[in-house]
Chains A and B, each alone.
Chain A
Amino acid sequence: MHTIVTVTERVPETPSTVTLRFDYPVRAEPGQFVMIWFPGDDELPMSLSYTGGSSKGVTIKAMGATSQRVQSLPAGTRVGIRGPYGNRFDVTARRVLVVAGGSGAAVLAPAAEAAAASGSRITVALGATQAPELLFRRRFEEMGAQVEVATDDGSDGTKGFVTPLADRLLADGSFDAVWTCGPEVMMRKVALSAARSRVPTFCSVERHMKCALGMCDACALGPLHVCVDGPVFPSDRLLGLPEFGASHRDPSGRRVPFGGR
Chain B
Amino acid sequence: MADLGTRIGGLALRNPFLLASGIWGESGESLAGAWDAGAGGVITKSIGSVPRLGYPNPTVETFDEWGLLNAMGLPNPGIDEYPKEIDVARARGATVIGSVFGGTPEEFATLARRIGETGVAAIELNLSCPHAEGYGTEVGSDPRDVEAIVRAVVREVHVPVIAKLTPNTPDPGALAVAAERAGAGAISAINTVRGLALDTTLRRPVLAHGLGGLSGPAIKPVGLACVWQIYDRVRIPVIGVGGISTPEDALEYLMAGACAVEIGTAVTQQGIAVFGRLAEGLARRLDALGLASVTAAVGAAHASPR
Contacts and interface: CB of A to CB of B under 8 A. Distances in A.
Contact of B81 (A211, A217, A222, A254): A254
B177 interface: no
Interface residues of A, number: 33
A141 to B, nearest CB: 36
Interface stretch (A38-46, A93-101, A108-116, A174-182): A38-46
Contacts of A254: 51, 77-78, 81
Pick the most buried of A40, A42, A217: most chain B CB atoms within 10 A of its CB. Answer: A217
Given A2-B206, A250-B53, A217 B60 contact: no
Contacts, number: 118
Contacts of B27: 217, 220, 249, 253
A216 B58 contact: no
A78 interface: yes
Interface in B62-89: 62-64, 68, 70, 72, 75-78, 81-82
Contacts of B268: 211, 213-215
Interface string B41-73: 000010000011110111111111000101010
Contacts of A223: 29-30, 32-33
Given A4-B202, A225-B30, 9 more contacts: A37-B58, A80-B58, A215-B60, A215-B68, A215-B264, A217-B25, A220-B27, A223-B33, A253-B26
20 contacts: A1-B62, A1-B64, A2-B206, A4-B202, A35-B58, A42-B57, A78-B202, A210-B54, A210-B57, A210-B72, A213-B68, A214-B271, A215-B68, A215-B265, A216-B59, A220-B30, A223-B32, A249-B27, A253-B76, A254-B77
Which A-B residue pairs are the 3 nearest by beta carbons? A43-B57, A217-B26, A253-B26
Interface of A: 1-2, 4, 35, 37, 39-40, 42-44, 78, 80, 82, 210-218, 220, 222-223, 225, 228, 249-254
Interface of B: 22-27, 29-30, 32-33, 45, 51-54, 56-64, 68, 70, 72, 75-78, 81-82, 199, 201-202, 204, 206, 208, 264-265, 267-268, 271
